[in-house]
Amino acid sequence: MAETKRYELTPEGRQRLIDELAFREGEKHDEIVERIKEARSFGDLSENSEYDAAKEEQSQNESRINEIRQILATAVTVEAGHSLTVSIGATVELKDEKGKTSTFTIVGTTETNSLEHKISNESPVGSALMGHEKGDVVEVVAPSGKARKYTITAITR
């Protein structure tokens, strides 16, 4: 039997999934059903590309609904702790050996978004930072094997 993946979500991440699920089960579902109905009215389904596209979109939507339901059913909501150690929900400011500063928010794997500087607690940087405090020097080993050192200059919630 396959082991169920354990997801960790911030309260905001859980709410985003709940909102997406409501959209996909409601408005998105109704829109797809309407497109299928319209495509059926065009007649012969064997050569009806609109019908095929709508059915494919319906399948993808249902897959995502099932994925979200699975995540929500097994996810643990992690409240940001009040201690000053790095944990899920913490925003961490780092300084590398060259003095360059970077800021990341540590989130669960399903909330990762590089454009918003949200990194997973399971990523190389995220996992190396977990449990550390301001002032700690943390060594991060990249998938390439190259190690870099960072100093934690600030932790906020």
pLDDT at 115: 92
Q: What letter represents residue 136's amino acid?
A: D
Q: Which structural domain, as residue segments, surrounds residue 45?
A: 8-77
Co-location of 70 and 124 in the same domain:
no
- Rounded alpha-carbon distances, angstroms, from residue 138 to 20, 119, 126, 151: 36, 16, 11, 6
Helix axes 29-40, 49-74, angle to 10 degrees: 160
Comparing CA positions, the residue from 141, 152, 145 lying closest to residue 95 is 152
- Final residue belonging to a domain, choices 77, 109, 125: 77
Query: Which pTM was predicted?
Result: 0.59
The model's pLDDT over 25-74, given as tens digits with 9 standing for 90+, comes to: 999 999 999 999 988 888 777 778 888 899 999 999 999 999 999 988 88
Co-location of 65 and 22 in the same domain:
yes
The model's pLDDT over 70-100, given as tens digits with 9 standing for 90+, comes to: 988 888 887 655 557 888 888 999 999 999 9
What's the distance, Cα to Cα, between the start and end of the chain in Å?
38
Co-location of 18 and 71 in the same domain:
yes
What tokens does 88 get?
């899920």
